[in-house]
Copies of this chain bind each other. A is one copy, B any other.
């Protein structure tokens, strides 16, 4: 078992469109997310986001890395109610353009502290795959 998990998907929309849906971090495309509130500009590193999931979980995330040129953002989970089975987790979502047909390759990678349980990692794996499928639904025409 690894404490790093990477999921990825091809999305049939240009990288600029996919990145636009991700960079604002309202996660409107994600069926599991009920709402997301940002403390300030979505591109301000250090900004926090309170995300409420449809199952009632409320998480506080902090943006720690943001790249407009390489189209990636990294956030860490700084609070979770109920607590997640991992002392800490860091997520990076990156969009790569697919030049041959102007679509996108999206990679979502998560690092868990070594206390991350297998259960937490598996849960994250399936949630990322679902989120990427939701993202595809939101931006593909």
| B66 x A8 contact (CB < 8 A) | no
Q: Which of B107, B114, B129, B133 contacts A116 (CB 8 A)?
A: B114
| B3 x A114 contact (CB < 8 A) | yes
| A105 x B96 contact (CB < 8 A) | yes
Interface string of A101-139 (1 = CB under 8 A from B): 101010100000110100000000000010011000000
Question: Which of A41, A64, A66, A101 gathers most chain B CB within 10 Å?
Answer: A66
Chain B residues contacting A129 (CB-CB under 8 Å) are 99-100
| A114 x B2 contact (CB < 8 A) | yes
Q: Which of B3, B7, B66 contacts A100 (CB 8 A)?
A: B7
**In this assembly, does A69 line the interface, its C-beta being within 8 Å of a C-beta of chain B?**
yes
Chain B residues contacting A40 (CB-CB under 8 Å) are 41, 44
Which residues on A are within 8 Å of B, measured CB to CB? 1-3, 6-10, 40-41, 43-46, 64-70, 74, 90, 96-101, 103, 105, 107, 113-114, 116, 129, 132-133
Q: List 17 A-B contacts (CB under 8 A).
A: A1-B114, A3-B3, A9-B100, A9-B101, A10-B98, A10-B103, A41-B46, A45-B68, A64-B67, A65-B67, A65-B69, A66-B67, A67-B67, A67-B74, A96-B105, A100-B129, A105-B105
